[in-house]
A = this chain, B = another copy of it.
Amino acid sequence: MDSEEAPLGYDVFRRTCPSHTVLETLASKWVYLTVCALRRGRMRNGALARKLEGITPKMLTQTLRVLERDGLVRREVFPVIPPRVEYELTELGQNLAGLLSQIRSWAEEHAPDIKDARARALADHHDDMAVLP
């Protein structure tokens, strides 16, 4: 019946399903952007910090640790001074990055549409107000 069921009983709609918790971690702005940023190859911490405009050191580290824990990112430390740490996507991570990049492209492509929709929604809302004399 359902044309797109999970392989083996996995179901994102069920709170207790592992796939649900996976989705929960993916549903994060910084996870999104970090994975996309790493898509083209390994990057140093500082480079990431610069690419991810507005991210704080704390959030960057936190995000990277989550991705590392989930096996999406590999962390490599070079024992030099000053310290040098590089991050790169694992195979699993690259796999995901492809999909996230599509979302990214979609967001960039349809940003105007959504901006318009929001403006219209706002205008309508003002119309409601305008009904009052």
Contacts and interface: CB of A to CB of B under 8 A. Distances in A.
Number of copies: 2
A44 interface: no
Given A6-B108, A101-B4, A112-B18, A23 B13 contact: no
Contacts of A70: 114, 117-118, 121
Interface string A29-41: 1011100110000
Contact of A102 (B99, B104, B111, B118): B99
A33 B15 CA distance: 11
Interface residues of A, number: 59
A9 B87 CA distance: 27
Contacts of A99: 99, 102-103, 106
Interface of A: 4, 6-7, 10-15, 17-20, 22-24, 26-29, 31-33, 36-37, 51-54, 68-72, 92, 95-96, 99-118, 120-121
